[in-house]
């Protein structure tokens, strides 16, 4: 799944907590939200940041982050839903998402699970998002929407 497809999929499944999400869908959406948040924070600081004019005439300071706050609200539910669907792909309940509330350890565990390869074939949460019996390597059956890698396979011999 490429970047634009992942972003479109996450927004089209805005509050869909059922089903599965492959690794690329989750990580592309995480990159999108992170980069947009950084850019909007910079824009907020430029537009609504500290304003100072001549000596003793006017000084104003604002810590209001209007644009980045609106963006954060807009992607809050899609971010949770893609995280839950990613957990489903690793055959874990979406309730494990609440580990995010455990300082440091919970976040580390979730990152490891998000980076873990999903289960091959269908599991209790639905069909394999890659559509095949295996992920990655040669011989995997891909849906028409996904093209196999152009990197040649090298035998282990």
- Can you give the pLDDT of all 157 residues of the chain as single tens digits? 899 999 999 999 989 899 999 999 999 999 999 999 999 988 888 887 755 556 666 665 666 778 999 999 999 999 999 999 999 999 999 999 999 999 999 999 999 999 999 888 888 888 888 876 544 444 444 444 545 556 666 665 5
Q: Which residues of 118-131 are buried (b: 16+ CB within 10 A; e: fewer)?
A: bbeeebebeebbbe
- Name residues whose C-beta falls within 8 Å of residue 141's C-beta, 6 or more positions apart in sequence: 131, 132, 133
Q: What Rg do the C-alpha atoms of the chain give, in angstroms?
A: 21
For position 139, what pLDDT does the model report? 40
What value, to the nearest 5°, has the Cα angle with vertex 16 and ends 13 and 21? 75
pLDDT, residue 103, reads 93
Q: What is the pLDDT of residue 66?
A: 87
Q: Residue 78 burial (CB < 10 Å; 0-12/13-18/19+)?
A: buried
What is the model's pLDDT at position 54? 61
On whether the CB atoms of residues 97 and 110 are closer than 8 A, the answer is yes
């Amino acid at each position: 799944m490429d970047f634009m497809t992942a972003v479109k999929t996450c927004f089209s499944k805005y509050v869909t907590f059922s089903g599965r999400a492959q690794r690329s869908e989750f990580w592309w959406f995480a990159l999108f939200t992170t980069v947009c948040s950084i850019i909007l924070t910079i824009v907020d600081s430029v537009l609504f940041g500290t304003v100072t004019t001549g000596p003793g005439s006017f000084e104003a300071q604002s810590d209001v982050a209007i644009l980045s706050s609106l963006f954060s609200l807009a992607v809050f539910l899609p971010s949770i839903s893609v995280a839950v669907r990613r957990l489903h792909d690793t055959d874990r309940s979406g309730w494990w998402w609440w580990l995010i509330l455990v300082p440091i350890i919970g976040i580390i565990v979730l990152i490891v699970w998000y980076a873990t390869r999903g289960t091959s074939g269908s599991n209790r949460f639905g069909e394999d998002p890659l559509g095949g019996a295996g992920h990655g390597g040669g011989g995997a059956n891909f849906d028409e929407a996904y093209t196999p890698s152009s990197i040649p396979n090298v035998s282990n011999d």
